[in-house]
Amino acid sequence: MVKNEFSSIGTRLFSEHLVGGNFGNMSIHDREESFLITRSGSYLDDPGDLVKVPLCGDVPSDASSEWRVHRAVYKQTRHKAIVHAHPPYAIAASLVLDEITPLDSEGKMFCPTIPVAVGEPGSNELADDVADCLALTSLCIARGHGTFATGKTLEEAYLFTSLAEHACRVLSLVSSFR
C-alpha cells in the first residue's frame, strides 16, 4: 500500500514536469524511530523497494543522497512526509531571490512566503538549513537545487510542491510583462 502511494505521487510529479529522469526523492516517517525513503537513483513513478533509514545511526548505502535532509526534518519537526522535487521555475527563482513571495491567490493563501535554503546537495549544511526552514513552514526551496515540501501525507507534500512551481511560474510571467 505504501509503495502504491509513492508510485502515485511520483507519477503526478512526472506528469507536471516537477521531476525528470531519476531525480528527486520522497519519504514517510513511520511510527518507529525511522523513515522510509526512495532508493538512490530510483524513478519516482516506479520507485522499487523503499529503504528504511533510522533517525540515529548508520544509513543503508542505497538510501537517497538527500537522506540527511529527510532525517534532520523528521528529527526537528512533526512533519510525516517529504517530497523533494526539481521544478524548473522554483529552481530559477531560488537563484535570484532569497525568499519567494507568491503573487497568486493560492500561493498567498497557503504559503505567503517560501524561504530559500542554502547548502550543497546531500550536505549537512543543506540538511540543517532546510530543517530550520521547515520547522516554521511546509515548503522551502534549496538554492539552485529544488523544493522540499512536507505534510501529513505524501499527497499533501506533493500539493505544496505543485503550489511552489505554480507560484514561481506566475512570478516569471508577471516579470515578463514588465
Domain holding 39, by residue range, is: 2-177
Cα dihedral across residues 164, 166, 169, 171: positive or negative: negative
Coil/strand/helix, residue 102: coil
Burial of 15 (0-12, 13-18, 19+ CB in 10 A): exposed
Tell me how many domains the chain contains: 1
Does 149 have pLDDT greater than 80?
A: yes
Q: Which tens digit of pLDDT belongs to each residue from 160-176?
A: 999 999 999 999 999 88
Which residue reads 506566475 in cell numbers? 170
Question: Nearest Cα to 113, choosing from 132, 133, 131, 129?
Answer: 133
Give the side-chain half-sphere CA count within 13 A for 27: 30
Partnered with residue 99 across adjacent β-strands are 115
C-beta of residue 148 within 8 angstroms of C-beta of residue 74: no
| CATH code for the domain of 83 | 3.40.225.10
Partnered with residue 148 across adjacent β-strands are 84, 140
Q: Which tens digit of pLDDT belongs to each residue from 26-53?
A: 999 987 899 999 999 998 988 889 999 9
Q: Which tens digit of pLDDT belongs to each residue from 52-102?
A: 999 999 999 999 999 999 999 999 999 999 999 999 999 999 999 999 999
Residue 160, C-alpha cell as written in the block = 505544496
Distance of alpha carbon 84 from alpha carbon 23, whole angstroms: 9
E strand intervals along 44-138: 51-54, 81-85, 99-100, 114-117
For the entire predicted model, the pTM comes to: 0.95
Distance of alpha carbon 6 from alpha carbon 176, whole angstroms: 36
